[in-house]
Amino acid sequence: MIIHKAMAKHLLSESKCIFRLLRVQNSCQARRIQTTVDALDVHRHSQLMNKWWDLDGPVRLLHALNDIRIPFIQKGLALTQDNLSSVLKGKTILDVGCGGGILSEGLAKLGAKVVGIDASKELIEVAKYHASNNKELMNNLPTYINTTMEEHSTIHAEKYDAVVASEIIEHVVEKELFLESCVRATKPNGKLFFTTPSKTRMAQFFIIFVNERILHTIPKDTHQYDKLLTPSELESMLEKNNCKVESTRGFVAHPISNRWSWTNHKLFMFAMQAVKLKQNQLC
């Protein structure tokens, strides 16, 4: 009888131990699954590191995109039209998926305190090197960190006046987690800015087929149709996270002339601006 009790006690102890191990293992697996990073996509972009700052290279359209996305951010943060030129001075801005720093540098030149994050270690090194050799940034260098949005937001909750996710949400997995993390890092009443291709057959044809496979103005396999969003899908996710969309505009690339322009439709690309509401406000 004593032996049976001892065995039962031992088995119970072993069962508890196994249960704890399984719980830890499941927790670890859950954490591994809860990432927004598409490793293949990161690798694909990292391979462009040596050509990132070539104005005639494979990401030349990203360089040209600054001509419309920076004014879009300025207008979204400005209280009046009179202070557009100085509106970014002193503003804390997070550039999510900053790559080699094209947008980060553009914002920093206008006085913003920019933090750029990217899952690619190689592109972060490119960004650091280029910024350190840019005389226009000597007194206002962007800070670059090799990390993910979900990791950064847990440490820097409600830190930024604005969070910018330009040409990145179409590359991530777990988009709900990604957007939730973007909102978490934004101050109450802070702004969020997105630019991304529209999920339309027109965008699929011209951006993915024509630009990537025929004209080669965008590196092949940069975009996957199934990972794109419609404006209404992005707006819905923002509203679920206590944000209110303030502006949505369509725009389009002109790859031959390497420029962008605004459109009165959202068939190809769209830019969206939202404000993070305080907890006592309603979306």
Q: Give me the phi and psi of 190, to 5 degrees please.
A: -80, 170
Residue 187 token pair: 């101050």
Q: What is the pLDDT of residue 35?
A: 86
What single-letter DSSP state applies at residue 223?
-
pLDDT band at residue 7, thresholds of 50, 70 and 90?
very low
Q: What is the mean pLDDT of the chain?
A: 89
Residue 20 has pLDDT above 60, yes or no: no
What single-letter DSSP state applies at residue 82?
G
Q: What is the pLDDT of residue 198?
A: 98
The continuous run of DSSP H or E covering 175 comes out as helix 175-185
Sign for the CA dihedral angle at 239, 68, 99, 220 comes to: positive
Cα 58 from Cα 33, distance rounded (Å): 32
Residue 32 burial (10 A CB sphere; 0-12, 13-18, 19+): exposed
Residue 261 has pLDDT above 50, yes or no: yes
Q: What is the pLDDT of residue 24?
A: 33
Region 183-207: mean pLDDT is 96
- Percent of the residues in the chain that have a pLDDT greater than 90, as a whole number: 74
Edge-to-edge strand ranges of the sheet holding 143-146: 143-146, 113-118, 92-96, 160-166, 186-197, 269-276, 243-254, 259-263
241-259 burial string, b = 16+ CB within 10 Å, else e?
bbbebeebbbbbbebeeee
pLDDT band at residue 213, thresholds of 50, 70 and 90?
confident
Q: What is the pLDDT of residue 201?
A: 96
Q: What is the pLDDT of residue 219?
A: 87
73: Cα separation from own chain's centroid? 15
Cα 17 from Cα 156, distance rounded (Å): 36
Cα 223 from Cα 220, distance rounded (Å): 8
Instruction: Give the bridge partners for 262, in sequence order.
Output: 251
Name the pTM for this structure: 0.85
pLDDT band at residue 278, thresholds of 50, 70 and 90?
confident
Residues 153 and 242 sit within 8 Å (Cβ to Cβ): no
What single-letter DSSP state applies at residue 84?
T
Kindly report, residue by residue over 26-71, the tens digit of the pLDDT: 433 444 447 889 898 899 899 989 999 999 999 999 999 999 999 9
